[in-house]
């Protein structure tokens, strides 16, 4: 496809509709609020306290049946599929942005959202509009109701179908699809991608995916398809063994950044960009030299290497890329909830670190990139996480810890967190029954050059971001 054609496809106005089977025609909802409430009332396994991870709860046959009623929109889009424990969202966002700046009409499906559910579905960095979402929910409503009689659909299954439909409607050239939970049984695992990416694997969702890296790797490897190329970052030996075995079993060529693909990075400081990381990645078909990683931390350099390697692999599917435009894509992106400063005086940073490896990477990245005298951490997490692992890492970076809880039904009691933290570290802590109370305690403890970091739960950082957005809007009015 010539670049001029790509650009035209990416910018032209689209009026097409997905082909939807006629299972009903009644317009169910007249406004966005009604439609979102209907969607939110579906079973949401992201919020359930106890989730059975099996072929009944997560049923790909059900997903295929649902999509069939909708005209199989997923078969009309080309995709990249991403799984992993940490870094999926960052890698997906970087890859999507680079595809976009190279002239491709690009879809991006990620989860969970930070503030607004529409964040999950975007085309060319623009999240789906309320009107578009309303229209799509009205279109899937008959199929959802039809299946509700015998095999009810979950929130995530419906959201995934909405994403496929939106991408088909807007005729994307390619869509970057992030798995939700695991991979093998995930609702997104109905696509036949151009290339598969595996981000860093570590212990997370152990109640569903297993207590060992090998078990977790087996679930993530479930998205690897017959003959489809796979690219992974470097993994622990037991995880890499599983990935290699599974890839070989389906004749899927597997490459690893830093081993099979030449990759290096360096940390530097400049007047223009401040502290940042630059990356080099070379393959037989691409040469990316000294590109600036837009997100802070060594872990984001590793994520960026995967995004670049996936971009390069798409050349075998007929996509073309310009190095300068690729660099522009990285330079022009930001990602909510990843080392994001949401307030000044005092400085408040939020980050969606939700497992031990992510907390370790966050503390290292803050120390390397953000000057401060003392750091107060407001921490809350859910019960299906590696709580002890996170608390163990937390002790090495936090000068003061305040434990609280989000509004999630799965949130762990602040008192329980505090007792576990004291047992692990022997350090003092404070507790708060809400984020608001935690912020009051933190504000009274910090000076001008200190930092408040809110982390541990996507729900907690979502509440924080919403809180400060509302405050900013109130001041603006």
At residue 48, the pLDDT reads 54
At residue 207, the pLDDT reads 52
Residue 248's contacts (CB-CB under 8 Å, 6 or more residues apart) are 254
Is a pLDDT exceeding 50 seen at residue 20? no
Q: 74-121, pLDDT tens digit by residue? A: 999 999 999 999 999 999 999 999 999 999 999 999 999 999 999 999
Q: Is 440 left (phi over 0), alpha (psi -120 to 50) or beta?
A: alpha
At residue 178, the pLDDT reads 98
Q: Long-range contacts of range 127-133, CB-CB < 8 Å, 24 or more positions apart?
A: 128/162, 128/166, 130/32, 131/32, 132/166, 132/169, 133/32, 133/35, 133/36, 133/162
Distance CA 235, CA 202 (A): 9
Give the pairing type, strands 121-123 and 126-127.
antiparallel
- Give me the CATH code for the 3-331 domain, please: 3.40.1190.10
- What is the mean pLDDT of the segment spanning 342-371? 94
At residue 203, the pLDDT reads 73
Note whether 35 and 29 are within 8 A (CB).
yes
Is pLDDT larger for residue 58 or for residue 145? 145
Distance CA 434, CA 424 (A): 24
Is a pLDDT exceeding 80 seen at residue 181? yes
Distance CA 402, CA 148 (A): 43
Note whether 109 and 176 are within 8 A (CB).
yes
Q: 403-462, pLDDT tens digit by residue? A: 999 988 889 999 999 999 999 999 999 999 999 999 999 999 999 999 999 999 999 999
Domain boundaries, the chain: 3-331, 340-476
At residue 471, the pLDDT reads 83
Is a pLDDT exceeding 60 seen at residue 5? no
At residue 408, the pLDDT reads 86
pLDDT cut 70: percent of the chain above it: 90
Average pLDDT over all residues of the chain? 90
Residue spans of beta strands (DSSP E) within 8-137? 79-83, 106-109, 121-123, 126-127
At residue 370, the pLDDT reads 94
The matching CATH number, chosen from 3.40.250.10, 1.10.10.10, 3.90.190.20, 3.40.50.1360, for 340-476 is 3.90.190.20
3-331 matches 340-476 in fold: no
Assign 29 to helix, strand or coil: coil
Supply 338's token pair.
């990843």
Distance CA 381, CA 352 (A): 10
At residue 27, the pLDDT reads 67
- pLDDT level of residue 21 (50, 70, 90 thresholds): very low
At residue 22, the pLDDT reads 41
Q: 361-390, pLDDT tens digit by residue? A: 999 999 999 999 999 999 999 988 889 999
Is a pLDDT exceeding 90 seen at residue 3? no
């Amino acid at each position: 496809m010539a670049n001029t054609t790509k650009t035209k496809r990416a910018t032209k106005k689209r009026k097409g509709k997905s082909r939807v089977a006629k299972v009903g025609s009644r317009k169910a909802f007249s406004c966005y609020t009604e439609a979102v409430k209907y969607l939110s009332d579906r079973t949401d396994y992201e919020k359930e306290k106890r989730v059975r991870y099996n072929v009944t709860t997560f049923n790909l046959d059900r997903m295929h049946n649902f999509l069939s009623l909708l005209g199989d929109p997923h078969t009309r889009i080309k995709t990249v599929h991403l799984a992993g424990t940490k870094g999926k969202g960052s890698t997906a966002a970087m890859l999507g942005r680079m595809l976009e700046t190279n002239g491709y009409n690009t879809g991006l499906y990620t989860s969970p959202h930070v503030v607004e559910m529409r964040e999950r579905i975007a085309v060319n960095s623009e999240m789906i509009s309320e009107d578009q979402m309303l229209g799509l929910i009205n279109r899937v409503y008959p199929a959802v109701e039809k299946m509700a009689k015998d095999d009810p659909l979950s929130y995530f299954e419906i959201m995934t179908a909405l994403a496929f439909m939106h991408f088909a409607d807007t005729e994307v050239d390619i869509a970057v699809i992030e798995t939700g939970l695991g991979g093998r049984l995930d609702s997104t695992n109905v696509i036949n991608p151009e290339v598969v990416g595996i981000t860093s694997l570590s212990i997370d969702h152990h109640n569903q995916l297993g207590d060992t890296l090998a078990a977790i790797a087996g679930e993530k490897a479930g998205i690897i398809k017959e003959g489809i190329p796979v690219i992974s970052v470097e993994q622990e030996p037991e995880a890499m063994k599983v990935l290699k075995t599974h890839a070989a079993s389906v004749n899927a060529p597997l490459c690893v950044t830093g081993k099979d693909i030449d990759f290096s990075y360096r940390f530097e400081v400049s007047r223009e960009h401040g502290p940042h990381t630059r990356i080099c990645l070379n393959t037989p078909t691409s040469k990316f030299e000294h590109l600036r990683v837009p997100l802070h931390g060594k872990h984001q350099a590793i994520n960026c290497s995967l995004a670049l390697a996936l971009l390069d692999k798409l050349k075998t599917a007929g996509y073309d890329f310009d190095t300068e435009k690729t660099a522009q894509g990285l330079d022009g992106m930001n990602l909510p909830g990843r080392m994001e400063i949401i307030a000044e005086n005092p400085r408040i940073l939020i980050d969606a670190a939700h497992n031990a490896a992510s907390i370790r990477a966050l503390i290292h990245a803050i120390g390397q990139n953000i000057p401060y005298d003392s750091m107060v951490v407001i921490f809350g997490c859910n019960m299906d996480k590696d709580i002890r692992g996170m608390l163990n890492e937390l002790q090495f970076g936090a000068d003061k810890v305040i434990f609280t809880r989000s509004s999630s039904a799965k949130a762990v009691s602040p008192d329980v967190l505090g007792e576990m933290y004291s047992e692990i570290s022997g350090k003092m802590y404070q507790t708060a029954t809400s984020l608001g109370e935690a912020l009051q305690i933190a504000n009274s403890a910090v000076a001008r050059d200190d930092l408040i970091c809110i982390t541990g739960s996507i729900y907690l950082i979502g509440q924080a971001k919403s809180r400060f957005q509302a405050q900013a809007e109130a001041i603006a009015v």
